[in-house]
Amino acid sequence: MSMSSAAVAEVGGPYAAALAQFDRAADQIGLEPNLRAVLRVPKRELTVNFPVEMDDGSIHVFTGYRVQHNLTRGPAKGGIRYYPSTDLDEVRALAMWMTWKCAVINLPYGGAKGGVTVDPRALSRHELENLTRRYATEIIPLMGPDSDVPAPDIGTNEQVMAWIMDTYSMHKGYSVPAVVTGKPVAIGGSEGRAQATAMGMLVATREVLRRLGRPLGGTVAVQGAGNVGRGVLELFSAAGFQITAISDHRGGLYNPRGLDAARLSAHLRDGGWVSACEGVGDPISNAELLQLDVDVLTPAAVEGQIHAGNAANVRAPLIVEGANGPITPEADAHLHDRGVTIVPDILANAGGVTVSYFEWVQDLQQFFWSSDQITRRLSRHMRTAVQSVWDLAEAQRVSLREAAYQIAIARVAEATRLRGIYP
C-alpha cells in the first residue's frame, strides 16, 4: 500500500470524513440546525485552470484550488499543497479541518486550504517558480493579510512562500510580508517556523503521556518524511524518544534498536529518499510501518492512511496525528473501542499554524521575537489546548477527537451567534 493509494473509500473521500466528524460532535453539543447548516459548508471555493510555460517551450495547463471554509473568527488561514492527487474534495476537507484547528488552539483565524494538482518533483526550479507565480496571481482576489493568509503544506516550502509573497507584493506595488507565513526569515519569516508542527506534536505527546501515566519516551514509528516527519525524527530523538521506523511514499526503513537520526536527517535534508539511506535499517513498507509494535505511531503523510481495512492491525497504544485526516472515522471508532489513545490532527499538529500566527503578528507589527520566545509561546499554547481537550474528554467520557471537535465547533458557533447572519 502506498501512502497515496490508501483511499477513504468506506466514507467516500476526505470531505465526507470531515463532515462525519463534524456531524458527530455537532450532535454531542446539540448544535442547532441553522448553525449546523452554516458551518457544514465552505464559504467560498475557487477553482482555477492556468497555463504555465515549461522549459522546453511547451504550455501545460494546471488546475488549482483555494477554499475558504469559515471566516467568522478572523482571516482565513491554511496551507497550499502541491500534490498529484489533489482535488476539490480534498481541499474542502482540509479547509474545514483548518477551521477547527484554529478554533481548538484558540487562534483568531478561520480555515482555508489551497492546492495545485501537480508533482513538484517533476518540475525544474524555473517551472516550479512559473507555476507558483501564476497560481498566486489567480488566487489574489482571495488573498490578503486581513483576508486569507496561505502557508506551506505538502509539496511546498519557504521558497514557494517567498515567490507567493513577492508576486502579491508586485501586484500591490509594495512589500506585504504578512500575506503568507512560512517564509524565509530574511524576508519576514519567523524563527522556529520550520519545525513548529513537530515541536507542537512533541509537546502534545509529552502532555498526553504524562496524563496517561506512561514514561516520557519510548519507541516511535513515523509515516512521512517531509517537513513534519523529518521534524519528528529530529526533535523526538533529541527529546529521548527512539525512532525505530520512518517512511516516505516509496517505502521506509526499520531498526528495532533505533535509527541513526542524525545520519538519516542529513540524508533527507539533501533530498534523498528514505529507502536510499544505506546502513541505517532494513526496508519496510508503509503498510508494515503502520502495524509496528511501538509506543507511539505518528502518521505524518496524507489523509486516509489508517482505514477500515487495516485498523485492526495497528498495534501502537498511542497515535499522534501529524497529517490532516490520516485516520478515517470508521478506523477511528475501531481504535477507540480497542483503547487506543489518539491525539487528533486538529490538536496534535496545530503547532504549525500557531507559529504561523506568531509570524503574521510579527510581520504586522514589524517587531520580531527570538527562537526561545517562540518556543515558550508555542509550548504554552499547546499545553493549554491539550489540557482543555483532555479535561472535556474525561468529563464527557468521549475521545480526545470528539472533545477537540466539541470545543472547536462551540467556539465557531458562539462567534457566529454573536455576529449574526448578514441579510
Rounded (10°) angle between helices 14-29 and 400-419: 80
Cell numbers placing 369 = 521575537
Burial of 285 by CB count in 10 Å (0-12 exposed, 13-18 middle, 19+ buried)?
Answer: middle
**Rounded to an integer, what distance in angstroms lies between the CA atom of residue 116 and that of residue 242?**
36
Helix/strand/coil (H/E/C) assignment for every residue in 114-135: EEEECCHHHCCHHHHHHHHHHH
Angle, in degrees to the nearest 10, between helices 261-269 and 227-238: 160
> Measuring CA to CA, which residue among 123, 125, 122, 98 is closest to residue 109?
98
Residue 158: name the closest of 114, 192, 202 by CA: 192
Contact 64, 116 (CB under 8 A): yes
| Beta carbons within 10 angstroms of residue 269's beta carbon | 10
- Catalytic-labelled residue, pool 77, 101, 113, 183: 113
Q: What's the CA gap between 110 and 124, in Å, rounded?
A: 34
Distances (CA, A) of 422 to 45, 109, 111, 416, 418: 19, 19, 19, 10, 12
**Known catalytic residue: 183?**
no
Laid out side by side, the sheet with 59-70 consists of 44-53, 59-70, 110-117, 76-83, 148-152
Contact 184, 196 (CB under 8 A): no
Positions marked active-site: 113
